[in-house]
Structure 1
Amino acid sequence: MPKLNRERRHAITFRLNGREVTAEAEGRMLLTDVLRHVVGATGTHVGCEHGVCGACTVQLDGEPVRACLMLAAQAEGADIRTVEGLEPAAGELSPLQAAFREHFALQCGFCTAGILMSLDALLTREPDASEEAIREHLSGHLCRCTGYAPIVKAALAAQARMKEETPENA
């Protein structure tokens, strides 16, 4: 990471996984760089740096976005959620994370954080998403290790678990 030019740095304030964060960044810095190198949220991976692979996917105001295509300054005032924000409590796995572990839906893990963030957004927005919708949603992510069958199985298992945990009248 190149040294920051002190004269060109600006403060950016946003919520990261539920807590307010202020970070300094040059106007040209990408959100991935600020998350990883300034704030320390290293679960956000940088793959292709062109928005194609999906490894850098985070949620911005609840919607999945490619952090490698976004300037950090665009995050001003936003609510950002990274893979570190998925755990419901310290040391606990979310239903989606647990399903990935149970269904062997990850191998090297490089793409996993982005896939989890994307699927979490989908299943939150569409709790009854069909297998076809899940597959379509995953089409924006590249995984070279697992094939996609275990990932789809894990997403469907997490979806079922999330429905069980959600009260009927919520």
Structure 2
Amino acid sequence: MAAFSLTINNKKHDVDVDPQMPLLWVLRDVIGLTGTKFGCGIAQCGACTVHVGGNAVRSCTLPVGNVGQEKVTTIEGLSEKGDHPVQKAWEETDVPQCGYCQSGQIMAAAALLKSHPAPSDEDIHNAMTNICRCATYNRIKKAIKLASTK
């Protein structure tokens, strides 16, 4: 066990956990932020996507000991009122079906728009590697395009 001071959603959290514990489980089980989902556990599906240092990362395989002093943002911290342009576009475009992957999809899309404010179809295709079992990929692309205009 080791003590870590993490900045998550602009709030300090002191945790005493194994340095190899995946960030996902620190977020969900230790801190209680359950918006980030467990999907595959091997960084393939993207349901666990959060921002670390402003970059989209798969938290299911990132050891908490590797976070360092980087700020972590989860879906709960993307916007105070759920009104981030991506969240609004997701709702307006009616993206989710089951909704399970959506927090990870939204976090990946928000990171994409931060680095590419007006993404091309190719940019979206390359950045959005999260898996959606309901296959809402066309609506996801439409929502990202809509969010890029806001």
- Give the TM-score taking structure 1 as reference length: 0.84
Q: Name the SS of the counterpart of 1:23 in structure 2.
A: strand
- Specify the alignment match of 1:145 in structure 2: 134
Aligned length: 150
Cα displacement (A) at 1:58? 0.6
- Specify the alignment match of 1:158 in structure 2: 147
Q: Name the SS of the counterpart of 2:119 in structure 1.
A: coil
Give every structure 1 segment of 4 or more consecutive aligned residues whose post-TM-superposition deviation is greater than 2 Å: none
Provide the rounded CA distance (Å) in 1 between the counterparts of 2:106 and 2:115: 14
Alpha-carbon contact 1:59-1:80 (below 8 Å) kept: yes
Bigger shift: residues 129-138 or 106-115: 129-138
- Specify the alignment match of 1:164 in structure 2: none
Cα displacement (A) at 1:76? 2.7
Question: C-alpha root-mean-square deviation of aligned residues, in Å?
Answer: 1.2
- Give the TM-score taking structure 2 as reference length: 0.94
Provide the rounded CA distance (Å) in 1 between the counterparts of 2:82 and 2:23: 27
Q: Would you say 1:22 and 2:14 are equivalent positions?
A: yes
Alpha-carbon contact 1:105-1:146 (below 8 Å) kept: no
Cα displacement (A) at 1:28? 3.0
- Structure 2: which 5+ runs fail to align? none
Provide the rounded CA distance (Å) in 2 between the counterparts of 1:24 and 1:46: 21
Provide the rounded CA distance (Å) in 1 between the counterparts of 2:137 and 2:51: 22
Change (3 A) 1:150 1:111: same
* 1:131-160 CA distance string (max 9 Å, x none): 22112211x210011430111111100110
Provide the rounded CA distance (Å) in 2 between the counterparts of 1:29 and 1:125: 29
The equivalences for 1:1-170 within 5 A come to: 9-87=1-79, 89=80, 91-138=81-128, 140-161=129-150
Q: Name the SS of the counterpart of 1:96 in structure 2.
A: helix
- Structure 1: which 5+ runs fail to align? 1-8, 162-170
Provide the rounded CA distance (Å) in 2 between the counterparts of 1:92 and 1:117: 12
Cα displacement (A) at 1:45? 0.5
Letter in 1 for 2:6: F
Alpha-carbon contact 1:12-1:75 (below 8 Å) kept: no
Cα displacement (A) at 1:18? 1.0
Q: Name the SS of the counterpart of 2:148 in structure 1.
A: helix
Larger Rg computed on CA atoms: 1
Q: Name the SS of the counterpart of 1:105 in structure 2.
A: coil
